[in-house]
């Protein structure tokens, strides 16, 4: 339940930003992001998922390296965050497919459909970038921690 609420909190933030961004794009009469995302977002999200999975593999190997030297280290929170990161990306991928299907549907029509769909696509894209950035940040944290552990074991 905690994970769902956290996901909804972040998604709400990105959706709010995306609505403002979409209104601004309507104001300046630009459709670049809309057409770019509709054409490429699925491929981009799958690439982000692949990058994130590979990066999490590197982090997991660093965790194992540290745990072999220090058996009492508890990385359960880190492992839970890694798992949450993957769940976030999968949920965003599924949401993206639903949004694209709704956008393409001739039967589903409602006021401001274009604004809402484009804002949803943008928020999914921005959230995915955030997840990737957060995972990248974790690599640096684990590298620093690994270096500190190696420094402590050599002295």
In sequence order, what DSSP letters do the residues of 71-132 get, joined into one string?
A: TT---HHHHHHHHHHHHHHHHHHHHHHHHHHHHH-SS---TTHHHHHHHHHHHHHHHHHHHH
Tokens of 28: 């300046």
C-alpha span between 7 and 35 (Å, rounded): 26
Per the structure block, which two tokens stand in for 26?
Answer: 């309507």
Instruction: Return the structure tokens found at 145.
Output: 């921690």
Extract the residue ranges of the chain whose pLDDT is less than 70: 153-155
Predicted pLDDT at 94: 97
Query: What integer pLDDT is reported at residue 143 of this predicted model?
Result: 81
| Direct distance between the N- and C-terminal alpha carbons of the chain, in angstroms, rounded to an integer | 45
Q: For position 92, what pLDDT does the model report?
A: 97
Q: What is the reported pTM?
A: 0.88
pLDDT at 41: 95
Between the alpha carbon of residue 56 and those of residues 22, 34, 152, the distances in Å are 33, 30, 25
| Span 111-126, pLDDT tens digits | 999 999 999 999 999 9
Contact 41, 121 (CB under 8 A): yes
pLDDT of 99: 96
Please give the Cα distance from 37 to 127 (Å, whole number).
Answer: 14
């Amino acid at each position: 339940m905690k994970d769902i609420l956290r996901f909804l909190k972040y998604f709400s933030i990105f959706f709010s930003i995306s609505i403002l961004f979409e209104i601004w794009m309507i104001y300046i009469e630009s459709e670049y992001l809309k057409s770019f995302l509709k054409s490429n977002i699925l491929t981009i999200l799958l690439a982000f998922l692949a990058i994130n999975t590979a990066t999490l593999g590197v982090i997991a190997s660093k965790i194992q390296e540290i745990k072999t030297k220090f058996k009492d280290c508890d990385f359960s929170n880190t492992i839970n965050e890694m798992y949450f990161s993957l769940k976030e990306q999968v949920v965003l991928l599924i949401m993206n497919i639903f949004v694209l299907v709704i956008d393409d549907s001739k039967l589903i029509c409602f006021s401001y459909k274009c604004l809402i769909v484009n804002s949803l696509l943008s928020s999914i894209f921005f959230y995915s970038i955030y997840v990737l950035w957060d995972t990248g940040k974790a690599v640096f944290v684990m590298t620093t921690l690994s270096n500190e552990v190696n420094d402590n074991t050599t002295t």
